[in-house]
Structure 1
Amino acid sequence: MRAAALLLLAVAACGPIPREDAEAACFRRAELALHPRGYVEIGTGSGGHTYTGVEINASSDFFMGRDPAAVYQTCVFNKSGEMPTRPLYERPDWRG
């Protein structure tokens, strides 16, 4: 009985998500397909100790040269089973 309940939960987790949630999740993926993102930080902490940090995020979509709009559309469809409500390039928050 317990195994059946766990299997049911695993199958339910793979199901489609609401289109709005998929669009939000896929927007970041489309941004990373356009170009890598990251930051560099340098500073001095208390006691005069210097700290540094670097973070770079890149995706295989970027390295493969995929169109960010196609990445976005495919991602939304795969996650929700529906097409996006508007194309990536028409989103007001798109900085492509």
Structure 2
Amino acid sequence: MRARALLISALAVSTTLAACGPVSPRRAAEQCEERARAAQGVQGRVGVGIGSRGVSSDLELSVTSDALRGRDPYVVYDQCVRAKTGQGPIRPLAL
């Protein structure tokens, strides 16, 4: 019984560590490009539709701490990739 509990604990820890480990340079670039875009300022989405119940609308706004602090999106991208992979970006940021 004790061995089973230890095995389950070990699996949980290894799964957690794997999730926190380095990601591929390609995946890091994708994730960090998104973060850099968000650092440019307020992001938003507007939706308008017409249906059997009449007109409907939707508005969504978001702002990140990087945008509030006025951080340069290129610096955000570079630091994000380095934190995720341990190396520099594999491609330049294209906003």
For normalisation by structure 2, the TM-score amounts to: 0.85
For normalisation by structure 1, the TM-score amounts to: 0.84
Look up the equivalent residue of 2:30 and give its one-letter code: A
How many angstroms does 1:56 deviate by? 1.3
* From 48, 52, 56, the counterpart of 1:51: 56
* Alignment deviations for residues 25-52 of structure 1 (CA, whole Å, 9 cap, x no partner): 1001101101222122223211x42211
Query: Does 2:6 correspond to 1:13?
Result: no
Structure 1: runs of 5 or more not aligned: none
Look up the equivalent residue of 1:36 and give its one-letter code: V
**Aligned length in residues:** 89
The residue number in structure 2 matching 1:67 is 72
Determine if contact 2:48/2:58 at 8 Å carries over to the other structure. yes
How many angstroms does 1:57 deviate by? 2.4
Structure 2: runs of 5 or more not aligned: 1-6
User: In structure 2, the residue corresponding to 1:34 is in which secondary structure?
Assistant: coil
Aligned Cα RMSD in Å? 1.3
CA–CA distance in 1 between the matches of 2:42 and 2:88?
Answer: 25
Percent same amino acid among aligned pairs?
A: 37
